[in-house]
Structure 1
Amino acid sequence: MIIKAPIDLELTQVSGQTSQPPWKYIDDSYSDLVCIDGEPSIFNVKQTDEYVDFTYTGNVSEKTAIENVKKIYDLDFDLDKFYKYLDSYDELKDMSKFCNGLRLFQAKDPFECIISSICSANNSIKRWTKSIDDMKLKWGRNFNDYYSFPNPSNFKELYLDDDEELLNEGNIKNNNLKSCGVGYRAPYMRKASDIFTLEIDLSDIYKMSYDEAFETILEVPGVGPKVADCILLYGFGFRQAFPSDVWIKRIVSYLYFDGKDIKVEKVREFGMDEFGDYAGYVQLYMFHYARMSGLMDKLKK
């Protein structure tokens, strides 16, 4: 079925959003396992002209499947209205040309997004996505060679490293978090699974205000403001989040502050105040505009 919402599916998939790794690319189609109320379904999406061509398998209704694929690819977001917003500002008006069709790639599993976002800190897209895929292969449930992400209660039982695995099992089978290449982040991940098993219900975050949700996510060890905003934007749909790191700082400084050195926390505040409910989208477009237009290379010098 064709869902008539313009999108650049490839750009959305490979844009490094920390909701999840890119889906499997097979025969011009992106595919992954989506669990809906415990029911496994394989979603397949491909580009047909400027729209999504969507099929699925599994014991879920067509209405429910469509609602979920629309949520994952944010297909109800009005890109044309957003582009008119960008075009009304000199600093932003070229972004839609370089990033046309880019949409939020939202989490099909918010816990996977939390672990992905923790894993992405000081890491390359290639490395963190491989780590998440390795976790799914090792500890996820297999449905026709597609793997779910382990849930928080299962995740908190995982060994941290070779030493812990050797102590408990008497041998090493690379069945521990560090074997997935997460390094120093392993204890943070296991603590996150403890928190979201014993202290916080993930579903409650959707009901919180942005400020309450932000403070809640900051309670997870290893999560700073940038990672917290990634989790809220890609995992829970808080579009007013403006994830800010050194690159967003340089881009914002170049576009708005004549290249002056400003603190990352001030950049975050500026982005949220200036762009409001478009902040998350503007941040996403800023980064990819800088990367694709050559601005990022200029800012490296």
Structure 2
Amino acid sequence: MMQKTLRIHPNGPFDLKLTIQSGQTSQPPWKFVNGEFQELLMIQGKPCFIGIHQKPDDLDGPLTLRAESKYEIEDDEIRSKVCEIFDLEHDLMELYSFLESSEKLQPTIGFCRGLRLFKAQDPFECIISSICSANNSIARWNKSILQIKEKWGDEFDFASGEFHSFPSPETLMKVPEHDIEEMELCGCIGEPSDYKENLKSCGVGYRCSYMKEAARMAHEEIDITKLGDMDYDNAFNEVLKFPGVGPKVADCILFYGYGMGQAFPVDVWIGRIISALYFKREEIKPPKARTFGMEEFGEHAGYVQLYLFHYARKSGLLESLKKK
């Protein structure tokens, strides 16, 4: 059993807890056990347990990693995977220089210092998480995705506990949508044992059929491993082919799943925040807010959206907008 402890030095400040718990649709938060965040990572196809922690209030210090695997994995491979997920090589001070140049954006830094992209290790998990998040609370879609992992993902046991990977598109597309009673009603029942577990039981509601069809398309029609190599516009148009994916969810997938910084996910609340800050509270529709954000913030658009939403939640701006 490989067991090792490593250090990582982020490029600029990093708030581990804030990032993991910020509601980004890449994945549910990692488990928090005994003072560290824990998750299963697939590193060069090898399952590896990672436990990560930082000293309290030391956003500029190094991170400490614990790694466990029955396979031998190089230190640089482990560091590279963790750096990719938390965007640790991104120069956050460059982002802050951009934010400080704007009177409207500068206040976000104080509320969001160290907040980074929480990128999906598995883009398919991000696609399903983002579809599941539409018109849904963070707590509910997190619970649904965790149940999907536990029911149909591969199970791995480590000294530190049991973890599950996210199921493959081929696996998820074969999961029944409904329970046995509903299957009987529609006259399409097979062996009862085939329907002990169903996707609807994970609380995904009407999104169930979207998620199953997205799984089928990811398995049969769209090579999701190549989306990150496309330019933004082509990738955006390709992702829109998935059912249940409109512009907002597509931008979530491209930012949180593939790290495309020019993506600017806009829901009704980001639209209202942009309206309040830039259009003298004249409410504009999400398509206009999205175009404005991409043009105004450029390569920083994804991070600006992330910072604006967290700032609005913590500063009271979002609450004031709900009253209007």
| Alignment TM-score, normalising by the size of structure 2 | 0.90
Partner of 1:89: 102
Residue type at the aligned position of 1:23: W
Q: How does 1:230-249 map to 2 (within 5 A)?
A: 230-249=252-271
Provide structure 2 residue ranges, at least 5 long, that are not aligned to the other structure. Answer: 1-5
Of 214, 222, 225 in structure 1, the residue corresponding to residue 244 of structure 2 is 222
Q: Cα deviation per residue 1:13-40 (whole Å; 9 max; x = unaligned)?
A: 1110000000010011001011123210
Please state how far the C-alpha of 1:65 moved relative to its aligned partner.
0.8
For the residue of structure 2 that corresponds to 1:227, the secondary structure is helix
Please state how far the C-alpha of 1:174 moved relative to its aligned partner.
4.8
Q: Cα deviation per residue 1:158-181 (whole Å; 9 max; x = unaligned)?
A: 101113488123268650110000
Q: How does 1:154-193 map to 2 (within 5 A)?
A: 154-162=171-179, 163-164=182-183, 167-170=189-192, 174-193=196-215
Call closer, same or farther: CA 1:164–1:149 in 2, change over 3 Å: farther
Residue type at the aligned position of 1:130: K
Q: Aligned partners of 2:29, 2:191: CA distance in 1, in Å?
A: 33
Residue type at the aligned position of 1:53: T
Of 26, 31, 39 in structure 2, the residue corresponding to residue 24 of structure 1 is 31
Partner of 1:115: 128
| Identical columns (%) | 51
* 1:256 matched to 2:256: no
Q: Aligned partners of 1:4, 1:34: CA distance in 2, in Å?
A: 19
Please state how far the C-alpha of 1:75 moved relative to its aligned partner.
0.2
Q: Aligned partners of 1:53, 1:94: CA distance in 2, in Å?
A: 30
Q: Aligned partners of 2:269, 2:193: CA distance in 1, in Å?
A: 43
Partner of 1:2: 7
For the residue of structure 2 that corresponds to 1:168, the secondary structure is coil
Partner of 1:137: 150
Please state how far the C-alpha of 1:147 moved relative to its aligned partner.
0.4
* 1:284 matched to 2:306: yes
Call closer, same or farther: CA 1:174–1:292 in 2, change over 3 Å: farther
Call closer, same or farther: CA 1:174–1:255 in 2, change over 3 Å: farther
Partner of 1:54: 65
Q: Aligned partners of 2:133, 2:196: CA distance in 1, in Å?
A: 21
Superposition RMSD in Å: 1.3
Q: Cα deviation per residue 1:205-231 (whole Å; 9 max; x = unaligned)?
A: 011110000000000111111000000
Paired residues of 2:36 and 2:51 also in contact (CA < 8 A): yes
Partner of 2:3: none
Partner of 1:269: 291
Call closer, same or farther: CA 1:255–1:174 in 2, change over 3 Å: farther
* 1:194 matched to 2:231: no
Question: Relative to total residues, which structure has the larger helix share, 1 or 2?
Answer: 1
Partner of 2:112: 99
* 1:80 matched to 2:80: no
For the residue of structure 2 that corresponds to 1:11, the secondary structure is helix
Rg larger for: 2
Paired residues of 2:248 and 2:265 also in contact (CA < 8 A): yes
* 1:210 matched to 2:226: no
Residue type at the aligned position of 1:261: E
Q: Cα deviation per residue 1:95-123 (whole Å; 9 max; x = unaligned)?
A: 01001110000001100000000000000
Residue type at the aligned position of 2:33: I
| 4+ residue segments displaced more than 6 Å | none
Deviates more, 1:166-175 or 1:260-269: 166-175
Q: Aligned partners of 2:149, 2:191: CA distance in 1, in Å?
A: 21
For the residue of structure 2 that corresponds to 1:33, the secondary structure is strand
Q: How many residues align?
A: 301
Q: Cα deviation per residue 1:46-100 (whole Å; 9 max; x = unaligned)?
A: 1222242222112221111100000000001111121111111000011010011
| Alignment TM-score, normalising by the size of structure 1 | 0.97
Partner of 1:11: 18
For the residue of structure 2 that corresponds to 1:203, the secondary structure is coil
